[in-house]
Structure formats: structure tokens, C-alpha cells
Structure 1
Amino acid sequence: MLNLNDLILFAAAVEDGGFAAAGRRLGVPKSTVSKRVAELEAGLQARLIHRTSRSFTLTDVGRDFYEHARAALIETEAAEASVRRRVAEPSGRVRITASVPTAQLYLAAQLPRLAQRHPKLQLQLDVSDRFVDLVQEGYDIALRSHFAPLPDSGLVQRVLTVETVVLVASPGYLQAQGTPDAPARLTEHDGLLSAAGAGVWTLQHRDGGQAQVAPRARMSANESVALLHAASAGLGIACLPQGFCAQALDEGRLQRVLPDWHAGRVTTTLVMPHRRGLLPGVRATVEFLADCLRQAPDGAGAEG
């Protein structure tokens, strides 16, 4: 069987154009490279290199052998790297950026668990709703929630979960104002809006129908926690991701309104530069977040 070290020396000699150059790069004497390549040729019973004092060229057999040797070395390096990545303990700094709602819903309670699982990780979370350039600003991971598909940016994109945006209100509000039985009845109700100019809701029926309605603007806030508290306080009807208001629904502080209708779906995508995902710390964080969101309420449609 061939010696893998002989393949390494032979490939280096070919790539560097001679034994001396290969020896300098590998830190071994020129004579060692020359001797091992000669032994390789003897074992194969074939001349691989034509070499004189002035030339160093591959034979036809040597050219074919080099292509296979190079492929074998690449596979060997990949096998070694695969094992090293798996056994390496996640460590070092991992910089994460996320919007305010995403950080509150998914990260605030989960990142301490990740830190406890991997004590050598140094987690840095930047909570901001501004656009972040991962590469230019040195972030490893971004969690982005969006309604439309993200543009093709050359970054790795991994969809973590897709949530339904549902209509909710407090039992007290519905008792006092009545429960709407059709989208058109929402015009008679107070709406808690995500922005001052977002007064029209586009609703979709589970069977595919669509309706546009304009509730009475009672309050607007571009922050989901504020809308959640306003709805719980009985100020009106809000449109919120189901996972975001799941606890309030379970505890009875909120109720679904028009349960056969929803206000679209919001996707949460993990985005990262290609090479960052090879680092054990980043990879461990990615897999941890994927598991967390896969188990999140209304996580149907999550991709592992």
C-alpha cells in the first residue's frame, strides 16, 4: 500500500516545481524529498518525473498519478477536518445581531442555556432593528424576521421557522365590544397598529380567501411587546406572531379573533458569512438556535 507521506512529498514537488522548493515549504531536506519520490516510483514501477539539472517535468503516467494523488490528499484533509470540527470544543467569541422582537422572543431566555452548555463561548448579542452588514461589521450570525424573501446577498441563509400572524384581543375587550364574526366587522373595532400608516390589514382565510379591512386606529407602536401589552390591557385588537403571544393565549390573557383568518406569515432566517460557519463556536450556536426555534410555538414549517 502507498505511503500517504510519499503522496504529500510527490504532490509538493509537482506543485512547487522541484525537490528543493518542496523541501523548503515542507521543512524537510531536498534529499529526503528526492529519495521518497524515487522510492515511490520504484514501488509503482513507473517513472513519474523527468528530472535533469535543468528541467523537472511530469511524465504522462506521472500527470495521471498526480491528479489522483491530489484528489486523495484533498479527501484526507477533508476527513481530518471533519473529525476535528466535531471534537473541537466550541470556544471563542460569537457575535450575534437580532431585532428587538426576535431577541425578546427567542434569544433572551435561550442564550444563557447555550452559555452554560459551552462555558468557553463568549456570546455577544447586539439588539437592533437597523440593517446590519455582517461582513463589514464583523458579525458571525444574524437572525432576521421578514415577510418577503431575503435578497440573495451571497451569505448563507437558513430558514429556522415560519410563524402565522394572528389577530388577538383580551377577553375583557371582546366582552365589552363584542367578538367580530367576519373581517368586515373589524371596522367597528379598535385596532392596535404596527405603525401609524399601517391602518389597513390584509387578511387571508385558511381556504385561500383574502380581505382588506381598516379598524379604528386606537394606538400604534413599531414594537411587538408594546402591542402585546396594549392588547392584554384591553385597548383593542392586534396582529401578532403566534409564537410571540403564545404564552398570553395559553394563560387566557388574550384570545384569538377570527381564528380562520390570519394576517400573513413571518419567517425567521439565520444569516451568516460562509466561512464563519466552519468555526466550532459558530456552528454550535447555529445548531442550538435551530433547535430552539424548531421547538418554538407555531414552528410548523421550520427547517432543520
Structure 2
Amino acid sequence: MLNLNDLRFFVQAVDCGGFTAAGRRLGAPKTTVSKRVAELETALGARLIHRTSRSFTLTEVGRDFYDHARAALIEAETAEAMVRRRQAEPSGTLRLTASVPTAQLYLADHLPALAEAYPKLHLVVEVTDRFVDLVQEGFDIALRSHFAPLPDSQLLQRPLAREDIVLIAAPAYLEKHGTPQWPQDLAVHAGLLTGPGATTWRLGGGDADEAVEVTPRPRMLADESVVLLKAAAAGLGITCLPEAMCRDELARGAVVRVLPGWTAGSVTTTLLMPHRRGQLPAVRAVVDFLCARLAR
């Protein structure tokens, strides 16, 4: 019978791309990781990793063994968590990641309630706009907001929310420059845009059977939604943002909808998780909590 801890050392070494990085993640010396992997190879009678001073690559049998070893570890975690679930509420560490706007819009208001609902759950939230590989970096859940469908992957996907992208401007701006009545009117208006490659808005709705493309006069370029929202509220021009992001400003009249029968597409927020992680009670509890909250 193989030592389950040896499987853990092996999987972490592969996930981290080497013994040194794996040792840092496991809190163990590099020599310990290397020794445990070597003992695993001896027990199996097979070389799993080709390693030199400059390279670290899996053998063919090593690749196959990694898939099964990783699955076995998750199954072991699931079995342990099942017992713990019967004895107590969800507990342990759960790692979650989201981009800055997604975290601000969909997580910030709900994380305190989540922490209160599950006091034995240790939440580790990484907010970053870089691409995060859930499997390689050991995350349990990711929230991603996207305009186009996400590509097929080995990750479980669960849509949480869909928001129209609406046009907004400050009442003072419209009083000074006039209120557009048709999408074509936007050509003479100041546009607050997300970047030099996004100067054209594709609008749908109204009585049009097809989308209408319009190009406002660039007034400001910013790749951050809050910056665009503040600029619009200050009267600099018209911008397009997810409706939920400007809901408070719309409610208090700082901005108003422009061409309310039209939208610039939509943004979908999807929860993703590695397939087997979704079986863990703590992960299921957080998923169910976020789905219930965001469905409101």
C-alpha cells in the first residue's frame, strides 16, 4: 500500500514545477520533498520524473500516475470532509479568486455574511486582474465576469448573474450637450471609453433587428470601471457600464440612462471550480451561499 503522504509530495512537486517550490508550499525542506518522491518511485518500481539540475519533466507513466494520484488525494479530502461535515459545520481553508471589478461588485457585500454564516471556514480571497490557473495554483473557486462564453475546460461552470451593459451620463452633461434620441446621435457626443481598441459601441434593442455600431468622440480612455463611472458622474461624457455597477448612482440621480431602450451587450459572471473540488462540503457551502445571494 502506497503512503498517501508520498502522493501529496509528488502531486505538489508536479503542480509547483519543482521540489523547491513544492517545499515552500508544503512548509518542508526541498530535500524532504525530493526524498519522498524518490521513495515513491522505489515503491512503484518506476521512474515518474526526469530531473536534472536544469529540468523537471514527467515521464509518460508519471503523467498517467499524476492524474490518478491527484484524484486520489481529492477523494481522500472528500472522505475526510464527509466525516467532518457530519460532526460539525463546514471548516478549513477555502481559496477564492476574482478580478477587481468582480470582487467589488459581487463579493465585497456578501463576504462578511459568508464569514458569519460559517465561522469555522477560513476564507482566503485573492483579488487580481491577472489570469489565475485554479488547478495549478490551488484555488477552490473563481468568479469570472466575461462578455463572450467561456471556453470549454475541465472546470465546472455555474452562471451566477447576467447584467445588461447600459449607457449613462450625468444630467448636467445632457443639459449642456443635448440628450441622444437615436444611437446615431452618439457620434457627436463625448465618449468615455475603455481603451484605444474599443472606440466603437455595438448597441442592440429599440426597433432594430440588428445591432447598430456607433463611434462617439473619444473624451477619456480608462480601463477601470469605477474611473469611468466617476468621470460620467462628473459630466465628462457618456460611457457604457454593467447596470449593477452604476445602480447606486442611478438611484440617487448622479447619472441617468441614455437611450434606455438600448444596451451595449451584457456581461455574465460565472463561478468556476475544479471538478472534484466541488464535492468538498466547504466548497459546496460557499457555492450554494453565493448562488443564493447573487440570484437576488
Give me the TM-score of the superposition, normalised by structure 1: 0.68
Report the CA distance shift for 1:245/1:87 in structure 2 as closer, same or farther (over 3 A): farther
2:245 alignment partner, SS class: coil
Once residues 86 and 236 of structure 2 are traced to their aligned partners in structure 1, the CA distance between those partners, rounded to angstroms, is 52
Once residues 281 and 88 of structure 1 are traced to their aligned partners in structure 2, the CA distance between those partners, rounded to angstroms, is 11
Q: What per-residue deviation string (whole Å, max 9, x for no partner) do you get for residues 15-50 of structure 1?
A: xxxxxxxxxxxxxxxxxxxxxxxxxxxxxxxxxxxx
2:240 alignment partner, SS class: strand
Report the CA distance shift for 1:130/1:263 in structure 2 as closer, same or farther (over 3 A): same
Report the CA distance shift for 1:134/1:179 in structure 2 as closer, same or farther (over 3 A): same
Q: What per-residue deviation string (whole Å, max 9, x for no partner) do you get for residues 105-134 of structure 1?
A: 111121011101111111111111111110
C-alpha deviation, 1:87, in angstroms: 6.8
Per the alignment, residue 237 of structure 2 pairs with 236
Report the CA distance shift for 1:83/1:193 in structure 2 as closer, same or farther (over 3 A): same
Q: Larger deviation: 143-152 or 203-212?
A: 203-212
Per the alignment, residue 279 of structure 1 pairs with 280
Once residues 294 and 89 of structure 1 are traced to their aligned partners in structure 2, the CA distance between those partners, rounded to angstroms, is 24
Q: Which amino acid aligns with 1:95?
A: R
Contact 2:162 2:268 in 1 (8 A): yes
Q: What per-residue deviation string (whole Å, max 9, x for no partner) do you get for residues 235-294 of structure 1?
A: 110100011111111111110000111000111000000111122211111111112211
Contact 1:169 1:256 in 2 (8 A): yes
Looking at CA atoms only, which structure, 1 or 2, has the larger radius of gyration?
1
Once residues 86 and 288 of structure 1 are traced to their aligned partners in structure 2, the CA distance between those partners, rounded to angstroms, is 19
Q: Which amino acid aligns with 1:151?
A: P
The unaligned stretches of length 5 or more in structure 1 are 1-80, 296-304
Per the alignment, residue 153 of structure 2 pairs with 153
Contact 2:98 2:127 in 1 (8 A): yes
Q: Does 1:288 align with 2:289?
A: yes
Per the alignment, residue 113 of structure 1 pairs with 113
Give me the TM-score of the superposition, normalised by structure 2: 0.70
C-alpha deviation, 1:196, in angstroms: 2.1
Once residues 245 and 87 of structure 2 are traced to their aligned partners in structure 1, the CA distance between those partners, rounded to angstroms, is 36
Report the CA distance shift for 1:168/1:243 in structure 2 as closer, same or farther (over 3 A): same
The unaligned stretches of length 5 or more in structure 2 are 1-80
Q: Which amino acid aligns with 1:136?
A: Q
C-alpha deviation, 1:209, in angstroms: 3.2
How many residue pairs match? The answer is 216
Contact 2:82 2:281 in 1 (8 A): no
Once residues 205 and 85 of structure 2 are traced to their aligned partners in structure 1, the CA distance between those partners, rounded to angstroms, is 47
Q: Which amino acid aligns with 1:172?
A: A
Once residues 152 and 253 of structure 1 are traced to their aligned partners in structure 2, the CA distance between those partners, rounded to angstroms, is 40
Contact 1:88 1:280 in 2 (8 A): no
Per the alignment, residue 3 of structure 1 pairs with none
1:243 alignment partner, SS class: helix
Per the alignment, residue 122 of structure 2 pairs with 122
Per the alignment, residue 141 of structure 1 pairs with 141
C-alpha deviation, 1:197, in angstroms: 2.0
Q: Which amino acid aligns with 1:167?
A: L
Q: Does 1:182 align with 2:185?
A: no
Report the CA distance shift for 1:245/1:86 in structure 2 as closer, same or farther (over 3 A): farther
C-alpha deviation, 1:82, in angstroms: 7.9
Per the alignment, residue 27 of structure 1 pairs with none
Per the alignment, residue 213 of structure 1 pairs with 214
Q: Which amino acid aligns with 2:136?
A: Q
Once residues 82 and 115 of structure 1 are traced to their aligned partners in structure 2, the CA distance between those partners, rounded to angstroms, is 21
Give the % identical residues.
61
Q: Which amino acid aligns with 2:115?
A: A
Per the alignment, residue 222 of structure 1 pairs with 223
Q: Which amino acid aligns with 1:96?
A: L
Contact 2:277 2:283 in 1 (8 A): yes
Per the alignment, residue 260 of structure 1 pairs with 261
2:144 alignment partner, SS class: strand
Once residues 291 and 83 of structure 1 are traced to their aligned partners in structure 2, the CA distance between those partners, rounded to angstroms, is 25
Once residues 180 and 86 of structure 2 are traced to their aligned partners in structure 1, the CA distance between those partners, rounded to angstroms, is 54
The within-5 A match list for 1:162-177 is: 162-177=162-177
2:196 alignment partner, SS class: coil
Q: What per-residue deviation string (whole Å, max 9, x for no partner) do you get for residues 174-219 of structure 1?
A: 1111100001110111101011221111111155431101101111
Contact 2:94 2:121 in 1 (8 A): yes
Once residues 236 and 86 of structure 1 are traced to their aligned partners in structure 2, the CA distance between those partners, rounded to angstroms, is 57
Once residues 273 and 82 of structure 1 are traced to their aligned partners in structure 2, the CA distance between those partners, rounded to angstroms, is 18
